[in-house]
Each structure stands twice: as structure tokens, then as C-alpha cells.
Amino acid sequence: MSVLPFDDRDGVIWSDGKLIPWRDAKVHVLTHGLHYASCVFEGERVYGGEVFKLSAHSERLVKSAELLGFKLPWSVAEIDEATRQTIKANNIVDGYVRPVAWRGSEMMGVSAQQNTIHLAIATWVWPSYYTMEARMKGIRLAMADWRRPAPDTAPTASKAAGLYMICTLSKHKAEQNGYDDALMLDYRGQIAEATGANVFFVINGELHTPKPDCFLDGITRQFVISLAKARQMKVVERAIFPEEMANATEAFLTGTAAEVTPIGEIGPYKFTPGEVCRTLIADFEAAVQPKKQAAE
């Protein structure tokens, strides 16, 4: 299957205040963000021409930059508007948005106090959704070797590019062994998250999910919790150890890309996606795509 490379596409990208041709959106090889990971980003979903929780994502981008010690020269409102401009210019109805901010190339070394701060926003069409039947089969996760770091060893509340290095390593190994993704533990040996999504378990009819004290409290995660509570489901945020997965009947991931994705297997543990998964998938889709749901 051929894949259209991301550096050679038609369209425009918002870059430092203006829309430029897609192929012209480039940075120098000696950019600090490339060498020292002084880079933060967001992943956002477009439904019917509107970004899901746009301001929440823009706010997190600003906060992520602050946690890495730099300030974006654009406000949340300005980032929101730039995102809308980019979506409109590329005629995106259902798609993905990737804002990314980084330190430039004025200084090359660990210290980069004088470097210019850059921001770019790209958007592209998102592939078709899985059918409910296909999604309810559940994906397979391996157990990752790498662990999420402690909050006093890395800026774990930031969506920082450098924190995803171990996610790539973990996902690559899982895929090489025939799995879809990997479940990561944290520095204490407790369940943390998948490589790019939060995780939930149904235990004794309740939703249990790890407390996000060393990984991102996902925006989709927060929304799905609100959907569950609206259904009078009890949601428990707590420390969860791997062996407790033996008590779970259902499990699923949440995230911008994952939305609500049922899990059929994590290492030696098996789950049967059922009513909770089906209900939350339906509620999520109804919330983010009301026009589509009404048409159907």
C-alpha cells in the first residue's frame, strides 16, 4: 500500500502567523527542537468542519510550552483562529490537526535562551472510521518494556515530543510481534497508558482507570469520563497494578486517534468488548458527530 509522504502534499500550513504552501513548511537541520527535544505538540480531531475541544487543546499546547520553559507568542484565542483558518483553507470536513511549537536555530547547545519560538499548524483528511462490528472485535496490546517516568524526572504533564521516544520504541516492538499497540507501566510498576491513548477497565460493573499523575490526563479521557457519569456509571481513578487486569471484563482506549477503542487482549489477559464499550462508543459518536447521527 502506497503512503502519501507528509512532506510532499498539496495544501497549506499555518506557519508563524501566515498560511504558506505545504511543501514550503520547513525548518533548518540545526533547529534546537530537533536536537534537544524543545518541542511540544497537539493532536486534534475535526468532525463536520469543527475541531473537538479546540480551546482545550490550544490551552494545553500553551501550558506544555510553559512546562518546557518557553512562551508561545500567540494567545489561545489566536491559536484557535489560526486552526480554523487552516481547516478552512484546506477544505477539511473530517480530519486531523497537528499544531507543533519548537525552539529555533539561533543557538545550538543545551542552552537556547535566545532562540525564536515557532508555531505551525497542519491539517489533513482522516481515514474512514471502523464499523462498530470491526471495532468491537477489540485490539491486541503487548506489555511494553519501557516505563513512564516519574514526574520529578521529566515534565510529564507536558505533551512534549521527547516523551514519545519510548512510545515509538514500544509500539514498534509490539507491531513487530503482531500486536496493535503496547500497554505501558509507570515507574512504580502500575498501569499507565498505551503508547498514545489512555486506558479504562470494567471491573465489577465499574469503570476503573489509572490516575494520571505521571502521564497526560487526555482531553478525550476527560470527555469519556463525563459520558460515563452521565450514564450513571461509577468511575474510579486509582492506582491499578497489572495483575488486576485478571478481574476486568472489558477494556478500552481513549484518545484523539483512538476515540473509544475496545481491547480484546493485553499480554496474557483477555477481555470481551461488550455493553459498556458499545454504549460509550455510541455516546461519543453522537456527541462529536450530531449531524451524521441525525442523518443516519
**pLDDT tens sequence across 68-107:** 999 999 999 999 999 999 999 999 999 999 999 999 999 9
For the range 75-79, what are the long-range contacts, defined as Cβ-Cβ under 8 Å and sequence gap of 24 or more? 79/119, 79/121
SS3 call for 6 = coil
Q: How big is the chain, counted in residues?
A: 296
Is 236's pLDDT higher than 50?
yes
The pLDDT value given to residue 53: 96
Among 242, 210, 225, 234, smallest CA distance to 284 is for 225
Write down the domain spans for the chain: 12-125, 132-292
The three cell numbers of residue 7 are 512532506
CATH topology identical between 12-125 and 132-292:
no
Mean pLDDT of the chain: 94
- Out of 18, 53, 71, 159, the active site residue is 159
The pLDDT value given to residue 76: 98
Asked whether 22 and 34 are in contact (CB, 8 A), the reply is no
Asked whether 13 and 22 are in contact (CB, 8 A), the reply is yes
Is 24's pLDDT higher than 50?
yes
CATH of domain 12-125: 3.30.470.10
Domain topology for 132-292:
D-amino Acid Aminotransferase; Chain A, domain 2 (3.20.10)
**pLDDT tens sequence across 215-230:** 999 999 999 999 999 9
Cell 474512514 appears where? Answer: 128
Does the predicted TM-score (pTM) go above 0.85?
yes
d(CA 247, CA 296): 37
Is 261's pLDDT higher than 90?
yes
**159 assigned to active site:** yes
